[in-house]
């Protein structure tokens, strides 16, 4: 078969391109146990023990299944403090993929963010992006700068099947780069795919135009490349000029449009831990390296074990395999069909790393400050032992001391994240059946009230209690 056939043939068989070599038993619990568990953790799913969860769709970060080749590479890891053989393999793989000569390993993506922003930005500066991921924004703000999102207008319509809703708004980008605050713009970051924007991809056309604007105005452009392979896959499917390219070729082009990248290898590195900072500018790399040594580790390990470097290097090679990406897209589409059949709307079109359920629309009887997304997430756990995460007013909204609404999130969503190579179709069928049962009895689902709210990042640590609905 030619390479073209392996990733272009739409009629290809729909089996996963791997089989199971190692198994991990998953817990099966009774409804009573789940009720007790939820009460014990004050209705905050982050408080559950993993042993209380049957299908864990909380995140796709660090939860993927390693391949036999990754485990084997891990065994061959070189744990030397300086000059490790594993670092050299890691650096070669990253250079080959990205073209960036300077490669700094870090323990995970947010360390790359902190090191890059501390080395490149001064307090009072601005960063622009399609949508900053939450840790990216936090690291920008921690050094006294402001992160401004410029998502394209299409991103606002959750139901349209527009293909590249992760794009940046080029007109607003250009206005900002020419505007009165232009001198304060420190960098532009394009997140592929847009995790803050329901996993929607960025087109190569949009990326190339953004890159040209940045170059024209002398502003460095970085990729937040956590899901670069998934973005590349969607480009080969939906952007005409890239139909005949492999995902790997698209990914290589994307990296070559930017001045560097921030990478969380817990996503498209298919590793449990790891990340890196890739840079073109050796002077900037030298400044970053000083911080790396002070806070992560010597530059040939950067907070990782030699075995981690090996596993990430091998994962970066495997992740652009068209058969793997096709299967991942197929998995997401399968779950999307089950969700729609259950009468639940998702943010369209489904991406690869997660589905986003429209809980606000499913549960119109629950007001934003009674957290419809959280209510749906709790019900999925009660009904089927499934853990998901709310992305709505519990995550983004604000209330006053009496629990009265101040601001609500723009929409009330629940994310079902899909760990890589971890769950099979029967697990997803269980999710579909559970959701169908939940949707059928939707009028009886209670809202929630906050009983304890930490000042920062409250969704992780807050306590809640159900508020049964008593009629209009
Ligand atoms: C996960 C993620 C990060 C942060 O990476 P960690 O490895 O979790 O520190 C940054 N950006 C995006 C888009 C992510 O998805």
Asked whether the predicted pLDDT for residue 217 surpasses 60, the reply is yes
pLDDT at residue 13, as a whole number = 58
pLDDT at 10 (0 to 100) = 53
Q: Say which of 56, 149, 169, 224 is annotated catalytic.
A: 224
State yes or no: is 224 an active-site residue. Answer: yes
pLDDT beyond 50 at 7: no
Which pLDDT does position 455 carry in this prediction? 77
CA nearest neighbour of 232 among 189, 269, 203: 203
Residue with the nearest Cα to atom 4 of ligand 1? 109
Percent of the chain with pLDDT over 90: 89
Determine the Cα–Cα distance for residues 251 and 193; give it in Å rounded to an integer: 12
Query: What is the CATH class of 31-60+322-466?
Result: alpha beta
**Mean pLDDT calculated for residue range 322-348:** 96
Closest to 25 measured CA to CA, from 51, 46, 49: 51
Tell me the pLDDT of the chain averaged across its residues: 94
Two structure tokens written together for 354: 């997660």
* pLDDT reading at 212 higher than 90: yes
- What is d(CA 456, CA 250) in angstroms, rounded to the nearest whole number? 39
pLDDT at residue 258 is higher than 70? yes
Nearest CA to ligand 1 atom 6: 109
Q: What is the pLDDT of residue 183?
A: 96
Domain boundaries, the chain: 31-60+322-466, 68-318
Cis peptide bond upstream of 147, omega within 30: no
Distance between CA 125 and CA 409 in Å, rounded? 26
- pLDDT (tens digit, 9 = 90+) per residue, 131-154? 999 999 999 999 999 999 999 999
How much is the pLDDT for 107?
97
Q: What is the pLDDT of residues 14-29, one digit of tens each?
A: 788 999 999 999 999 9
CA of 229 relative to ligand 1 center, distance in Å:
15
Ligand 1 proximity of 108 Cβ (cutoff 6 Å) = yes
pLDDT at 291: 97
Mark whether 226 is an active-site residue. yes
Per DSSP, helices labelled H in 363-464 are 372-384, 393-396, 425-440, 458-461
pLDDT in tens, 363-381: 999 999 999 999 999 999 9
Top-confidence residue, 316 or 134: 316
- Give nearest CA residue, ligand 1 atom 5: 109
Q: How far is the CA of 64 from the centre of ligand 1 (A)?
A: 15
Cα 365 to Cα 362: distance, rounded to the nearest angstrom? 9
Q: What is the rounded CA–CA span in Å between residue 207 and residue 225?
A: 12
**What's the rounded mean pLDDT across residues 423-441?**
96
Q: Could you tell me the pTM of the whole model? A: 0.94
Q: Is 134 a catalytic residue?
A: yes
Q: What pLDDT does residue 225 have?
A: 98
Q: Say whether 68-318 and 31-60+322-466 share the same fold.
A: no
68-318 has which CATH code? 3.40.640.10
Structure tokens at 207: 């990326």
Query: Above 90 in pLDDT, residue 9?
Result: no
Question: Per-residue confidence at 8, pLDDT binned at 50, 70, 90?
Answer: very low
Asked if residue 272 has pLDDT above 50, the reply is yes
pLDDT for 399: 80
- Which percentage of the chain shows pLDDT scores above 70? 96
Helix H or strand E encompassing 331 = helix 322-341
């Amino acid at each position: 078969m030619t390479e073209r056939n392996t990733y272009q043939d739409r009629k290809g068989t729909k089996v996963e391109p791997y089989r199971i070599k190692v198994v991990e038993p998953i817990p099966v619990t009774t409804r009573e146990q789940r009720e007790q568990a939820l009460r014990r953790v004050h209705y905050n799913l982050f408080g559950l023990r993993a042993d209380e969860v049957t299908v864990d769709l909380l995140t796709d970060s660090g939860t993927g299944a390693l391949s036999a080749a990754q485990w084997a590479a891990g065994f061959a890891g070189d744990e030397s403090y300086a000059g490790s053989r594993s670092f050299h393999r890691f650096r070669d793989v990253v250079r080959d993929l990205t073209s960036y000569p300077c490669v700094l390993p870090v323990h995970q993506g947010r360390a790359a963010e902190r090191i890059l922003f501390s080395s490149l930005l001064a307090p009072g500066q601005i960063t622009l992006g399609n949508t900053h991921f939450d840790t990216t924004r936090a690291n920008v703000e921690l050094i006294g700068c402001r992160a401004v999102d410029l998502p394209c207008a299409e991103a606002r319509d959750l139901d349209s099947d527009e293909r590249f809703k992760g794009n940046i708004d080029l007109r607003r980008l250009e206005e900002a780069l020419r505007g009165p605050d232009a001198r304060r713009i420190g960098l532009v970051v394009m997140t592929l795919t847009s995790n803050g924007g329901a996993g929607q991809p960025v087109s190569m056309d949009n990326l190339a135009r953004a890159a040209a604007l940045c170059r024209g105005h002398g502003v460095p452009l970085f990729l937040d490349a956590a899901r670069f392979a998934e973005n590349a896959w969607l480009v080969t499917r939906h952007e005409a000029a890239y139909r005949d390219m492999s995902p790997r070729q698209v990914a290589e082009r994307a990296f070559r449009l930017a001045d560097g990248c921030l990478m969380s290898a817990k996503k498209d590195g298919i590793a449990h831990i790891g990340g890196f900072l890739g840079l073109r500018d050796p002077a900037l790399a030298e400044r970053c390296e000083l911080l790396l040594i002070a806070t992560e580790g010597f530059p040939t390990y950067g907070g990782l074990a030699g075995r981690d470097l090996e596993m990430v290097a091998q994962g970066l090679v495997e992740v652009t395999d068209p058969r793997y990406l096709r299967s991942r897209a197929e998995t997401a589409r399968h779950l999307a069909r089950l969700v729609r059949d259950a009468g639940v709307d998702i943010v369209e079109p489904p991406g690869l790393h997660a589905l986003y359920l429209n809980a606000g629309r499913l549960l119109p009887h629950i007001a934003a400050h009674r957290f419809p997304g959280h209510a749906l997430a709790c019900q999925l756990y009660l009904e089927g032992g499934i853990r998901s995460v709310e992305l709505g007013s519990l995550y983004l909204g604000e209330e006053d001391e009496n629990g009265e609404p101040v601001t609500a999130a723009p929409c009330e969503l629940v994310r079902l994240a899909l760990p890589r190579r971890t769950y099979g179709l029967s697990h997803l069928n269980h999710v579909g059946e559970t959701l169908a049962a939940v949707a059928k009895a939707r009028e009886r689902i209670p809202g929630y009230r906050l009983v304890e709210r930490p000042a920062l990042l409250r969704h992780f640590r807050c306590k809640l209690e159900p508020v049964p609905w008593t009629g209009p």
